């Protein structure tokens, strides 16, 4: 089954035909040719594309798929002197904050520098609170040197849809429809939630979260809450509510439900995508399951310890009265304030373009506008073996150098077309990008109308 994130919720499932699937996987991964091969012939590959597990070949990840590969090729062509209609590639496909010009948090980088090179503790230019954080972290590492950690894997999801007509709101009827259709094929085990949302940029209300918890209780589902954008909330009236807090405040029997909450340094106001640090908090798990979980983690390599040190700073930021507090708060508030302004600019400008509509960017760092495409454009896309919005995004890239992600890469209602863009570029560059998309869209409609 394909992995979809459009709903910001998915059902993790255990296949009812595991033995059949294992047999299929074994056949494809361990196939041995029984025909006699002449020793003089060139030895064939042990694993060929025809013998690969078909599930591996069916994996798609539009965020770093063929459009992004083509963007890389165009960058090389530009460097080699090729003449294009644009001078550079604007990558709006992934939420890499620092790649778009956001300045790293100074305090966080100071702590990392001290962890990596403790001799800097002697340098008076480093503030005392940074030195104290680094000292505490190093004291927890073997030999006072950067040490151990853990890593996590994400599951596959069964898709469902949010309601675009009401700001990507959650419909319990849609959840029930999706899980009912899935049951003949699998046994749903968990409900996965991304809040604030990716790719839609919406923020779940407390009522939404309570409904999800009640639904998960009724269906006996484990809740997995991806809350990495929890600081990124912009729209008037929107507020982040953690699943753990709501679950506990709802009381029995809901406060006894199993929950995993995820957080990362890659998103939020930090944007430290290269450090790959994060954590999961496990609530109400069976003690025997915890033992097995820890055993599985101990058998894996850990995440980079610089990422773990960065995560330590995010959960334990400078406090009022400490020397780094004012600068840290200023940088954090500047980043979030700019993102709020850019989110409003993005939805407003998209809604001013004929043939494009966009719900308000309530949170996270993405917009997911809907695009109206003529029948001829859909037919031209089909002739090339592409989804219509992928065809649109390829054309956008080739004509303007702007790299966005087609909505078909996330899952969307049949007959609708979208693309996802980040709101991360600096304000002036973002304005130019949005205007450029408007000009492109008008020409695209003229061409295929």
The CATH number given to whatever domain includes residue 345 is 3.90.1150.10
Q: How many CB atoms lie within 10 A of CB 134?
A: 25
The DSSP secondary-structure symbol of 102 reads P
Residue 237's Cα: distance from chain center in Å?
Answer: 24
In-domain check, residue 78: yes
Query: Is 251 inside any structural domain?
Result: no
Q: Is 355 part of a structural domain of the chain?
A: yes
Residue 69 pLDDT: 87
* Measured distance CA(258)–CA(7) in Å, rounded: 21
Rounded-to-integer distance, Cα 111 and Cα 114, Å: 5
Would you state the pLDDT for residue 171?
86
Tens-binned pLDDT, residue by residue, of the chain (449 aa): 333 344 444 555 544 344 334 343 444 434 434 444 444 456 565 556 676 677 766 766 667 778 888 999 999 999 999 999 999 998 888 788 887 778 889 999 999 999 988 999 999 999 999 999 999 988 887 777 764 453 354 444 567 788 898 889 888 999 999 999 888 888 888 898 999 999 999 999 999 999 999 999 999 999 999 999 999 999 999 999 999 999 999 999 999 999 999 999 988 899 888 788 899 999 999 988 888 888 777 777 777 888 888 999 999 999 999 999 999 999 999 999 999 999 999 999 999 999 999 999 999 999 999 999 999 999 999 999 999 999 999 999 999 999 999 999 888 888 999 999 999 999 999 999 999 999 999 999 999 99
- Based on the structure, what is the number of domains in the chain? 1
What is the predicted pLDDT for the residue at 86? Answer: 93
Exposure string of 328-342, with b = 16+ CB inside 10 Å and e = fewer, is: beebbeebbebbbeb
User: What is the spatial distance between Cα 225 and Cα 9, in angstroms, rounded to a whole number?
Assistant: 9
417 located within any domain: yes
Per-residue tokens: 116? 């990596």
What's the confidence (pLDDT) of residue 59? 63
What φ, ψ does residue 240 adopt, rounded to 5°?
-85, 130
Domain holding 85, by residue range, is 62-99+338-448
Q: How many helices (H) and strands (E) does the chain have?
A: 14, 12
Residue 124 lies in a domain: no
User: If you compute the radius of gyration of the chain from its CA atoms, what whole number of angstroms results?
Assistant: 24
Structure tokens at 220: 């006996």
Q: Which two tokens stand for residue 208?
A: 């939404």
H or E element in which residue 371 lies: strand 370-371
Secondary structure element (H or E) that encloses residue 98, with its range: none
pLDDT of residue 325: 97
The structure's pTM equals 0.76
pLDDT for position 29:
39
Say what the pLDDT of residue 20 is.
Answer: 39
For residue 154, being part of any structural domain is answered with no
Residue indicated by tokens 């056949």: 27
Question: Looking at the domain assignment, is residue 148 inside a domain?
Answer: no
Question: Contacts from 71-76 at CB under 8 Å and sequence distance 24+?
Answer: 71/397, 71/403, 74/397, 74/398, 74/401
Strands 278-283 and 356-357: what pairing?
unpaired
Helix (H, G, I), strand (E, B), or coil: what is residue 383?
A: helix
439 found inside a domain? yes
């Amino acid at each position: 089954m394909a992995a979809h994130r459009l709903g910001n919720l998915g059902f993790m499932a255990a296949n009812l035909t595991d033995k059949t699937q294992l047999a299929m996987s074994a056949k494809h991964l361990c196939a041995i040719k029984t025909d006699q091969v002449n020793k003089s012939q060139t030895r064939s590959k042990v694993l060929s594309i025809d013998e690969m597990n078909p599930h591996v070949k069916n994996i798609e990840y539009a965020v770093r798929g063929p459009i992004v590969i083509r963007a890389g090729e165009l960058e090389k062509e530009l460097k080699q002197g090729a003449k294009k209609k644009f001078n550079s590639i604007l990558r709006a496909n992934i939420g890499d904050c620092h790649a778009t010009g956001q300045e790293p948090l100074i305090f966080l980088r100071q702590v990392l520098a001290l962890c990596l090179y403790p001799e800097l503790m002697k340098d008076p230019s480093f503030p005392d609170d940074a030195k104290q954080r680094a000292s505490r972290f190093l004291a927890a590492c073997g030999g006072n040197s950067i040490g151990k950690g853990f890593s996590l894997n994400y599951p596959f999801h069964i898709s469902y849809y949010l309601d675009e007509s009401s700001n990507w709101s959650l419909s319990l009827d849609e959840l029930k429809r999706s899980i009912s259709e899935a049951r003949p094929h699998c046994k749903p085990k968990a409900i996965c939630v991304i809040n604030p949302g990716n790719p839609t940029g919406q923020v779940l209300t407390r009522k939404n979260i309570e409904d999800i918890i009640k639904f998960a209780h009724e269906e006996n589902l484990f809740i997995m809450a991806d809350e990495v954008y929890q600081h990124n909330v912009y729209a008037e009236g929107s507020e982040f509510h953690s699943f753990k807090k709501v679950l506990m405040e709802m009381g029995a029997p809901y406060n006894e439900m199993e929950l995993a909450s995820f957080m990362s340094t890659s998103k939020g106001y930090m944007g430290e995508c290269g450090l790959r640090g994060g954590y999961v908090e496990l609530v109400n798990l069976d003690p025997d399951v915890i033992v097995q979980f820890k055993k599985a983690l101990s058998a894996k390599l850990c995440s980079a310890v610089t990422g773990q040190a960065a995560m330590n700073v995010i959960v334990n930021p400078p406090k009022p009265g400490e020397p780094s507090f004012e600068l840290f708060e200023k940088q954090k508030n500047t980043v979030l304030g700019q993102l709020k302004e850019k989110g409003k600019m993005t939805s407003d400008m998209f809604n001013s373009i004929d043939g494009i509509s966009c719900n308000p960017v309530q949170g996270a760092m993405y917009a997911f506008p809907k695009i109206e495409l003529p029948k001829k454009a859909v037919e031209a896309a089909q002739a090339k073996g592409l989804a219509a919005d992928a065809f649109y995004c390829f054309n956008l890239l080739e004509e303007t150098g702007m790299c966005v992600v087609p909505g078909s890469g996330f899952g969307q209602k049949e007959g609708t077309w979208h693309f996802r863009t980040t709101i991360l570029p600096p304000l002036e560059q973002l304005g130019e990008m949005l205007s450029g998309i408007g000009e492109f869209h008008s020409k695209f409609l003229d061409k295929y109308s």
